Structures are given as structure tokens and as C-alpha cells.
Amino acid sequence: MKNLLKYLGYYTLFLITLVFITSLLNLIGVNSTITNFLIFIFNISLFFIFGLKNGKKASNKGYLAGLKVGGLFLLILIIISLFTSKNIFNLSTFIYYLVLILASTLGGSLGINKKSE
């Protein structure tokens, strides 16, 4: 549980930093499609990396370790979306969340396989 809270803190800091950077890019005049794509790629990589790290610490079933981390991060994203968006439950957001969960599950599965003995 301690590791999950630590990962949650790191993810929140990275997410705040990313939102700040993309906001600056929008102020400069970069297209919002590009910044949304950057946020998507960044989130996929974070879900994968933290799933991988949690999978390395798991004793068995790395995909469950990835699902735990991905579910926790996804819960944070859904809570943020509840406060900032009016329509969060549509097909595109469902696919977005599904891709993020799959990335963390894949990271957890690879993490358990890469575990050093």
C-alpha cells in the first residue's frame, strides 16, 4: 500500500507538471490537438512505467499489480474529470481509459517477467 501511495504522489506531480507545460504551449499558440496528443502519450508512458515498477515488486501475477496501479491512477483521472468536464462518460473517454488500463497491465506483466532474482 505504501508503494501505491508513493506512485500516486509521483503521478500527481507529473500530471500537474504536464498540465502546466501544455497550458504554456497553448498560450504560445500550439494547436490543442498536439497538446492533447502529448498528454495522451505522456499518460500512457506513466501508466506503463508505474505498472512496470509495481510489477517488479509483486510476488506473483504482475497483471494484477498493473491493474492496481492503473485503477488507482484512473480513479484520480475520473475524479478530476468529474470536476472539470460535463460529459465524461462517452465512447472516446471509455476507449482512452481502456488504453491506459491496458498500458499499466502490460507494464505489470512485463515487470514480473523482468524481476531480478
Q: How many CB atoms lie within 10 A of CB 14?
A: 16
Could you read off the pLDDT of 75-115 as tens digits, one per residue? 888 888 888 877 777 888 889 899 999 999 998 888 877 76
For 59, what's the count of Cα atoms within 13 Å in the CB-facing half-sphere?
0
Could you read off the pLDDT of 67-86 as tens digits, one per residue? 888 888 888 888 888 888 77
- For residues 54 and 7, the answer to whether their CB atoms sit within 8 Å is yes
CA distance 103 to 52: 10
Name the residue ranges covered by the structural domains of the chain: 2-113
Read off the C-alpha cell for 79.
475524479
pTM surpassing 0.85?
no
